[in-house]
Homo-oligomer: A and B are copies of this chain.
Amino acid sequence: MTSPDRWPEIRGIAYGGDYTPEQWPREVWREDVVLMREAGVNLVSVGIFAWALLETSEGVFDFEWLDELLDLLHENGISVDLGTPTASPPAWFFADHPDARVVSRDGVTMGFGARGMASHASPAYRAAIVRIASALAERYGSHPAVVMWHVHNEYGVPVGEDYSEQSVRAFRGWLRDKYATLDALNTAWGTTFWGQRYGEWDHVGAPAAAPSVVNPAQRLDFARFTDHQLRACFVAERDAIRAHASQPITTNFMANQSWTTDLWAWAREVDIVSDDHYLWAADCEGEIGLAIAADLSRSVGGGAPWILMEHSTSAVNWQPRNVAKRPGEMARNSLTHLARGADAILFFQWRASRSGAEKFHSAMVPHAGTASRVWREVVELGDALGRLEEVRGSRVAADVAILWDFESFWAQDLEWRPSVDVSHAEQIRAFYERLWRDGITVDFALPGQDLSGYKLVLAPAQYLLNTADAANLTRYVEAGGTLVVSFFSAIVDENDAVHLGGFVAPLRDALGIVVEEFLPLREGARHAVEWTGPASARLLADAWQEDLVLHGAEVKATYVDGPGAGKAAVTRHAHGTGHGWYISTRLDAAGLRTVMSDVYADAGVAPSDLPEGLEVVMRRGDDADYTIAVNHRDDAVALAASGVELLTGAEVEDEFLVPAGGVAVIRAPHIP
């Protein structure tokens, strides 16, 4: 078995979606392939929820229908991403193995009838997933239709943590591996607090519902364990497939939508990063969340092209109010993903289901059929993607990185933090949004990685920062980098234990400050900050202030009112040949613009002068660079560019008018 290719054998940009013909009679299958060809579909994912059909009781397989399906698809030139159905074991599995059911934190045993999620720690489940994955790979490893493997579905949702006996046992084993001795565990968890010291390994359990708040280090380790367990399940399936098949293997992430899996670690295990992305309908600027998800998908994969494994042609079904996409919105979404590195644009799902929990989820073929706006746009998008074949493989480059660290999020999300108004997701969105409006392309990064390629690094939500990573950030500044740290960062170490010497002490050299005390505000309280830059101004902020102690930093802004009145609010520190900025309050959008404007100057980063709402990203290829402009505005915008606009074929000299709601992809010679 040799190492597989990292991209499926498929021509151009992949286009298609989840395909569940098992829900339909054979005549619909035949209609499907005709329609797929009409739409330019070249890749479909099959089998993801088909375990009960493929293995009708333990070890009894029925592959006939799948044989027929794969042959039909192959005959029609449609490639297959073949799923393992392990996200939803059959009813017989749970009947045979009742102790493989997931138990909630409150002790509720999860029943059958939804997605039949099983305990990741159950030996029976581990055996079963290897059996079905092996059987599929053995049978279809050489099928010409199969160009990729799709393991499981959305690991970590709808449930991740499992409090069953099986899981508790596995947790104990994981802890022994991690800590070797109980003394080490007791120290890491700080079990002297509230008298929790363990004298026997068998006394250590999962952090189930308890009379009060459970040890946060225990909960953080349980989050790590859960992530590790799920990944171990993936690895078991992946290796089972690899024994019989050489196509690339992936599983679909949920970047920026679920935080239960550490995508950095997962990206190391998959051949290709895949992501599912759904707009949050209540957000009128959902395209910003989309851009975050896309950039994160690209970043965890080290910048390699990735697969948009699922998104929706229009509304989803699981939000409180499932807003339909407006005309053109599906294409803008799709091409934004492509602009940010996706070389495959796939949907959940091909044909809308008549039955089940997700029947009101939109699809490429809607309930209304092909005489519909959605279908017309699906065909148009297939055509557009066909014109972008050459973009495939080109890469996005960024000068700016925002730190994104799942372990820190897990720790911050535990109970009894200083203020419920502080959210990692909101802080990252605020800084990302500023950069997005300023037309600056961003990577996400880990605090411990090599950051030397970035002119600017932001840490809006790095609550957990170990000392090694803090040293890495300090070296980054020393060597000339510009670092922006927002409040409630660098507070605890890897065991959720407070760093001593004043909050933020691990970054004291880089920032020239420490924090003596947090000053959270009452609900709804707002306050002003006096900005002392060249353009003196009053900035507005809320939620949080701090009592800063200066250790060399220059004060850039001062609290006008609130508990911190008169004290430093924003500081800048020269360290080595770089600068460390610290923002100790939650600025509003205008305030952040003012501060970031000075930060850009330090970092040598140039914000774009395009009107807000024209989203522009460049993908760089070996021979050509592609400027992709997505116009979210209601008016056309002139973009300075020269080259060829690929969607229209137009020759562009100096300027291209991107239509209202439209997209342009302009090829120009590569500038290395």
Q: Are B498 and A359 in touch, CB under 8 angstroms?
A: yes
Pick from B198, B353, B417: contact of A360, CB below 8 A. Answer: B417
Interface size class of A (residues with CB under 8 A): 35 or more
Q: Are B315 and A518 in touch, CB under 8 angstroms?
A: yes
Q: Are B214 and A357 in touch, CB under 8 angstroms?
A: yes
The 9 closest A-B pairs by CB, nearest first: A190-B355, A193-B356, A111-B208, A91-B203, A114-B210, A88-B195, A52-B197, A49-B195, A158-B212
Q: Besides A56-B199, A107-B108, A369-B500, 15 other CB < 8 A contacts?
A: A23-B193, A49-B195, A50-B195, A52-B199, A91-B198, A111-B210, A113-B207, A114-B194, A115-B210, A117-B211, A318-B416, A323-B563, A360-B416, A360-B518, A366-B517
Q: Interface on A for B, CB 8 Å cutoff?
A: 20, 22-23, 49-53, 56-57, 85, 88-92, 94-95, 102, 106-117, 158-159, 189-200, 202-218, 281-282, 284, 314-315, 317-318, 320-324, 326, 352-360, 362, 366-369, 371-374, 415-421, 495-498, 500-503, 514-523, 547, 549, 563
Q: Are A108 and B106 in touch, CB under 8 angstroms?
A: yes
- Give the chain B neighbours of A284 by CB distance below 8 A: 522
- Give the chain B neighbours of A53 by CB distance below 8 A: 192, 195, 197
Bound-state CA distance A284–B521 (Å) is 11
Which residue of chain B lies nearest to A545 when distances are taken between CB atoms in the complex?
B324
Pick from B110, B200, B518: contact of A209, CB below 8 A. Answer: B110
- Give the chain B neighbours of A514 by CB distance below 8 A: 368
Identify which of A110, A195, A501, A523 gathers the most chain B CB atoms within 10 Å of its CB. A195
- Give the chain B neighbours of A360 by CB distance below 8 A: 416-418, 518
**25 A–B contacts, CB within 8 A, in A order:** A22-B192, A50-B195, A89-B195, A90-B199, A91-B197, A95-B203, A102-B211, A106-B108, A110-B209, A115-B195, A116-B196, A189-B355, A193-B357, A215-B357, A314-B517, A315-B517, A322-B518, A323-B519, A324-B518, A360-B416, A367-B498, A369-B501, A371-B549, A372-B516, A373-B517
Bound-state CA distance A358–B190 (Å) is 11
Q: Are B324 and A563 in touch, CB under 8 angstroms?
A: yes
Q: How far is the CB of A188 from chain B (nearest CB, A)?
A: 9
Pick from B57, B199, B521: contact of A321, CB below 8 A. Answer: B521
Bound-state CA distance A547–B325 (Å) is 12
Q: Are A114 and B215 in touch, CB under 8 angstroms?
A: yes
Q: Are A522 and B85 in touch, CB under 8 angstroms?
A: no
The A interface, classified by DSSP as helix, strand, loop or mixed, is loop
Bound-state CA distance A114–B206 (Å) is 12
Q: Are B110 and A320 in touch, CB under 8 angstroms?
A: no
Contacts A20-B193, A518-B315; A211 near B324 (Cβ below 8 A): no
- Give the chain B neighbours of A421 by CB distance below 8 A: 321
Which residue of chain B lies nearest to A284 when distances are taken between CB atoms in the complex?
B522
- Give the chain B neighbours of A57 by CB distance below 8 A: 199
- Give the chain B neighbours of A420 by CB distance below 8 A: 320-321
Q: How far is the CB of A345 from chain B (nearest CB, A)?
A: 21
Q: Are B419 and A322 in touch, CB under 8 angstroms?
A: yes
- Give the chain B neighbours of A217 by CB distance below 8 A: 355-356
Pick from B49, B190, B205: contact of A23, CB below 8 A. Answer: B190
- Give the chain B neighbours of A322 by CB distance below 8 A: 418-419, 518, 520
Contacts A190-B356, A523-B321; A205 near B368 (Cβ below 8 A): no
Bound-state CA distance A368–B517 (Å) is 8
Contacts A209-B111, A522-B282; A52 near B196 (Cβ below 8 A): yes
Bound-state CA distance A563–B515 (Å) is 49
- Give the chain B neighbours of A523 by CB distance below 8 A: 282, 320-321
Pick from B111, B158, B519, B547: contact of A207, CB below 8 A. Answer: B111
Contacts A110-B209, A420-B320; A356 near B522 (Cβ below 8 A): no
Bound-state CA distance A367–B91 (Å) is 54
Which residue of chain B lies nearest to A362 when distances are taken between CB atoms in the complex?
B517
Which residue of chain B lies nearest to A94 when distances are taken between CB atoms in the complex?
B203
Bound-state CA distance A167–B194 (Å) is 24
- Give the chain B neighbours of A85 by CB distance below 8 A: 195
Q: Are A211 and B20 in touch, CB under 8 angstroms?
A: no
Q: How far is the CB of A100 from chain B (nearest CB, A)?
A: 13
Q: Are A109 and B107 in touch, CB under 8 angstroms?
A: yes
Q: Are B516 and A49 in touch, CB under 8 angstroms?
A: no
- Give the chain B neighbours of A372 by CB distance below 8 A: 516-517
Q: How far is the CB of A640 from chain B (nearest CB, A)?
A: 33
Bound-state CA distance A512–B315 (Å) is 25
- Give the chain B neighbours of A56 by CB distance below 8 A: 199
Bound-state CA distance A116–B213 (Å) is 11
